[in-house]
Amino acid sequence: MEELQKVKKEFWTVKRIARLAILIALSGVGALVKIPSPTGTVALDSAPGFFTAVAFGPVEGMIVAGIGHLFTALTAGFPMGIPMHLYIGVQMAAWAYLFWLSSKKVNLIVGIIVATIANGVLSAALTIPFGGVGLFVGLLAPLLVGSLVNILIAAAAYKVVSKSNLIEEENIKA
């Protein structure tokens, strides 16, 4: 029990909380930049989440990406209902983790490809049980475009920022 408290205390530092607040705020701004889709919930909210994952680690990236989707859903009026958007927020967190994993274990290009397919195709496919094949077909193109744009922004930002002293050395390996 003492060990768990130590881990929590070490994770939730003032620096990390401030960084998360800034990146979550950027997700909120990105949520206002929509890509036309049937649901109105495809936006530039996930670029900060993907950037955070690859730059500062998967847990932080998952937090930013998940909350980022909720901002987008909120600005669109939760068109598919709150439970569905919570489900999508969890997916976004998973895709941020996948982007981190594939970028760090292989390279950034593979991370871009894997995360774009996961967020663009798999996310659309995961709507089939709730909205049928019609929703899948309607979301496929906008999600693919939105995913690619978000992930390319994140990757470009990472490449620029990784050359600075803003990212700890142990996180730079992509």
Range of the domain at 14: 2-168
Residue 51 sits in a domain of what CATH number? Answer: 1.10.1760.20
d(CA 23, CA 79): 25
Give the pLDDT score at 174: 43
d(CA 13, CA 161): 21
Task: Kindly state whether residue 13 falls inside one of the protein's structural domains.
Answer: yes
The helix-helix angle for 47-56 and 58-75 (nearest 10°) equals 170
Q: What is the mean pLDDT of residues 124-131?
A: 94
Q: Is residue 89 very low, low, confident or very high in pLDDT (cuts 50, 70, 90)?
A: very high
Give the pLDDT score at 9: 72
d(CA 61, CA 77): 24
Q: Is residue 164 very low, low, confident or very high in pLDDT (cuts 50, 70, 90)?
A: confident
Give the pLDDT score at 39: 87
Q: What is the mean pLDDT of residues 31-44?
A: 91
pTM of the model: 0.89
Q: Is residue 166 very low, low, confident or very high in pLDDT (cuts 50, 70, 90)?
A: confident
H/E element, 30: helix 14-30
In total, the chain counts a number of residues equal to 174
Number of domains comprising the chain: 1
Task: Kindly state whether residue 174 falls inside one of the protein's structural domains.
Answer: no
Task: Kindly state whether residue 30 falls inside one of the protein's structural domains.
Answer: yes
Task: Kindly state whether residue 173 falls inside one of the protein's structural domains.
Answer: no
